[in-house]
């Protein structure tokens, strides 16, 4: 489109130079030249405003969902009642059900009391692997925590675990 504008501006510049050198005595010729230059400028402006034809849309294959690639066991885990301050862990078992290898980019805990242990992979089709999620137990009462797993290719999985901590009853020494 830019080439078209420059091609039509070239003759316009020549016309303007000619007009600059043209003597004022010949008014009829001058009017014709000004009319021609105006039509040329208007035609260029109209051509520059025409919309380009849009490219034909290409068929885009939708990306696979996490459920089409991986199978998770214990993605939502109930830890039950645990003593306050006692660290506990559980394993999330993951199976690659796709036809391609998968790789973990990052595993991010929702807070400092949660610690994930993981290996990046790659994990071949059909391979089963584990992520160990640890909790330090220093949340009083009911807790609900999360871990986010980021896989290569933009896939993510949100894991949750919950339970309740309790403080063991203090035993008082008996005196005799």
Architecture of domain 66-166: Sandwich (2.60)
Q: Tens digit of pLDDT for each residue in 4-20?
A: 555 566 766 776 676 66
DSSP states of 15-27 as a string?
Answer: HHHHHHHS-TT-H
Instruction: Give dist(CA 52, CA 48) in Å, integer.
Output: 10
Q: Tens digit of pLDDT for each residue in 37-76?
A: 777 777 766 655 656 666 665 554 557 789 999 999 989 9
pTM: 0.60
Domain ranges for the chain: 2-49, 66-166
């Amino acid at each position: 489109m830019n080439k078209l504008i420059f091609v039509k501006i070239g003759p316009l510049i020549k016309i303007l130079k000619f007009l600059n050198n043209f003597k004022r005595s010949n008014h009829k010729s001058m009017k014709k030249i000004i009319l021609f230059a105006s039509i040329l400028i208007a035609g260029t402006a109209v051509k520059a405003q025409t919309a380009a034809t849009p490219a034909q849309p290409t068929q885009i294959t939708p990306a696979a969902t996490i459920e089409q690639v991986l199978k998770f066991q214990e993605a939502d885990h109930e830890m039950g009642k645990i003593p306050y301050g006692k660290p506990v862990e559980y394993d999330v078992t993951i199976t690659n059900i796709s036809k391609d290898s998968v790789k973990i980019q990052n595993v991010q805990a929702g807070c400092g009391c949660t610690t994930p242990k993981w290996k990046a992979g790659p994990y071949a089709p059909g391979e089963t692997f584990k992520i160990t999620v640890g909790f330090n137990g220093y949340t009083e009462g009911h807790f609900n925590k999360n871990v986010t797993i980021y896989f290569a290719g933009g896939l993510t999985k949100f894991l949750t675990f919950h339970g309740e901590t309790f403080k063991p009853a203090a035993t008082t020494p008996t005196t005799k």
